[in-house]
Amino acid sequence: MHLDADSEHEQPLSGGNVNEVVRSGDTVRRSAGPWTPTVHAWLAWVRAHGVLTVPAPLGVDGRGREILSWTPGETASGPHAAWVWARRTRLEVGAMLRAVHDVSAGFSTVGATWRSAVHEPAEVICLNDVAPYNLVHDGERVVGFIDVDMASPGPRAWDLAYLAYRICGWCEDSPAPDDVTPAATDNPELRGHAAMYRRDADRLS
């Protein structure tokens, strides 16, 4: 599907972790690649199975850019917002990630082209870059993932470990507030992060 966009009404976006991405109305336009058809098919599969925390794939426009649905809210680009370090965020994102993984386990990868390498065991489709700059917060809670073009098959633990690295204060470039101490391996907050992944997403409260 090809849709045209009026470049005069495009708004450059600073969130996420990519260049040359713009908002046009209720859509996001960004450069496509050989992996785009596979990623769009995967996104459609995930959403068709009731998980709406990933963007809806809407085809390509007349300039060959991919079109995705716009997710209202803020991302943690630049100095990270306080919500990034909140315990609730770890619980919310753990549940969201589990839901995406669970439905993607049934996605057929026959003939697929991925931007990122496939990591064994290929249990699910991993997002591969679950970090604050790729999360959308609506002012109350985390509501979605963005910039999912790096997705590829891999083990569940791959995404979960990287997410913990990015939001538990371990990452060297994480601008954590002074009062946030990196989680130790036996920290109850880290255990809670993993525990929420193990639960059903609808048990989040």
SS (H, E, C) 82-103: HHHHCHHHHHHHHHHHHHHHHH
Q: What is the DSSP string of 144-168?
A: EE---TT-EEE-HHHHHHHHHHHHT
- Model pLDDT, residue 71: 96
pTM score:
0.83
Mean pLDDT value across residues 18-35:
90
- pLDDT level of residue 204 (50, 70, 90 thresholds): very low
Return the CATH class of domain 82-203. mainly alpha
Q: CB–CB of 151/101 below 8 Å?
A: no
- % of the chain surpassing 70 pLDDT: 73
Torsion of CA 182, 128, 82, 165, to 10 degrees: 0
Tokens 């591969």 sit on residue:
128
Domain boundaries, the chain: 2-69, 82-203
Q: Which pLDDT value is given to residue 187? A: 56
What pLDDT, on a 0 to 100 scale, did the predictor assign at position 88? 87
For residues 47-68, give the mean pLDDT. 98
Q: What average pLDDT score do residues 12-33 get?
A: 82
